[in-house]
Chain A
């Protein structure tokens, strides 16, 4: 679809070389090399404070690199334009100032990268509505679409965040600890959704403490410790 595709080799969803992030003078990510191939289901493991969230945020350009470089589908984050190909699921839903929002409102906002800013659409188009309905159904939220998100349980809120990413129909998903503080039912539901994505050939980068029911879906695991990759199953097998 994009330019480089014509040359026969699509650039990978994420490629980081020597990625280093400093916070308050301390290195929280130290020279990470990571190339995530299309269709990979990558789990990023490691103890608290190992730099897992920092890594995925740096991959997306949400945290600037002190040194090294990172590319999303071949472009540095600042010059990347095809954001509709990316679905980012943050750790939790910020409460902000407490203005309520319905599940459907939050999920619909996941379509934003697919919408032209200069064509004000008071309602999402038919395709958008179908995608939002599908995302709600895939996460089991159809019956809760009109509920205020902040009155849902932690697991349900997590599913809302995933549904928001699904609604944008991206090629690559980045999920930051989607299972943290989530009940077993929601974890199983999440594994089901991820399975669908993996079978559909989507790329998934998943930060997790422990994999639980998602384990069989994972095609590759890296483990971080003190901001360094200490284990990479891809290196072991290839």
Chain B
């Protein structure tokens, strides 16, 4: 642990890991509730075309990925809003087009060496410039959630109610998709485009086994995200593994533990309820209608 801190790139990588661990699950909480768990995956495919464009034109692959994935995310939302039945196929076309275009362009560039690192992540090549970009993007993502969190919560709960509360539903839908795209770009260097989505979804899936509320789920998922990212990166350094898959497998391990822990917790609570102990979770069985009538 101490040893790895002597390397510049590891110090940078650790900070990036923390930022990924915070942002990916935070956005992921909204995506999961909106049943868009695979959105990050699709954006990851599209982002590859952006990287290819960036490499091909000699500009920054990160900026290329950012521009193309945000545009792709907006396109996805427009397609989703417009079509009821054909949207599914349109999305698939977009994803495969993005992946094929990206693979073609990146391998035309340097024979595919950078393709591997973008698909599966490569933390050893990060530079201070990467760190600044990631930090700025992470600030944007967390800022969006801080400012629009309540609106996005209601949007993800029930779109009709959000509309009947005067919320700009279309804008918010595009906003959450674009924020997911930015998150994909944040995480792609370290985790890789094919695994980015994992860190948006798995920590949330783990957290919701144990939590009762939305904010609690989001904060726990962020905790699990940071834990998996930092521990995965450290483990990858110690045992010479690829960081992306290590981080994702660690998050999956946390998920497995959470599933077991959650079911034990629920069973214990149910048993306590059956014994008539006063536990808040046991109360729902009885209605308190009489109170309302008299009140």
Contact = CB atoms under 8 A, between A and B. Distances in A.
Contacts, number: 148
Contact of A83 (B164, B204, B285): B164
B160 A189 contact: no
Nearest to A184: B289
Contact of B37 (A97, A115, A152): A97
Interface string B273-295: 00000001101110111111101
Contacts of A106: 157
Given A112-B154, A122-B146, A143-B280, 5 more contacts: A100-B216, A102-B214, A147-B281, A151-B284, A185-B290
Interface in A69-125: 80-81, 83-84, 86, 88, 90, 93-94, 96-102, 104-106, 109-110, 112-113, 115, 117, 120, 122
B281 A100 contact: no
A234 interface: no
Interface stretch (B26-34, B110-118, B223-231): B26-34
Interface stretch (B98-106, B122-130, B205-213): B205-213
Contacts of A84: 166
B5 interface: no
A91 B35 CA distance: 20
Contact of B293 (A60, A110, A112, A192): A192
A147 B287 contact: no
Given A100-B211, A140-B292, A62 B160 contact: yes
Contacts of B167: 112-113
A147 B161 contact: no
Chain B, interface size: which category? 35 or more
B166 A83 contact: yes
B215 interface: yes
B287 A156 contact: yes
A209 interface: no
Contacts of B33: 96-99
A189 B292 contact: yes
A88 B292 contact: no
Contact of A156 (B161, B212, B284): B284
Interface string A152-179: 1101100000001000100000100000
Interface of A: 57, 60-62, 80-81, 83-84, 86, 88, 90, 93-94, 96-102, 104-106, 109-110, 112-113, 115, 117, 120, 122, 137-141, 143-144, 146-148, 151-153, 155-156, 164, 168, 174, 183, 185-186, 188-189, 192-193
Contacts of B147: 117, 120
B163 A62 contact: yes
A138 B215 contact: no
Given A112-B165, A138-B292, A192-B295, A99 B160 contact: no
B292 A86 contact: no
Interface string B133-149: 00000000000001110
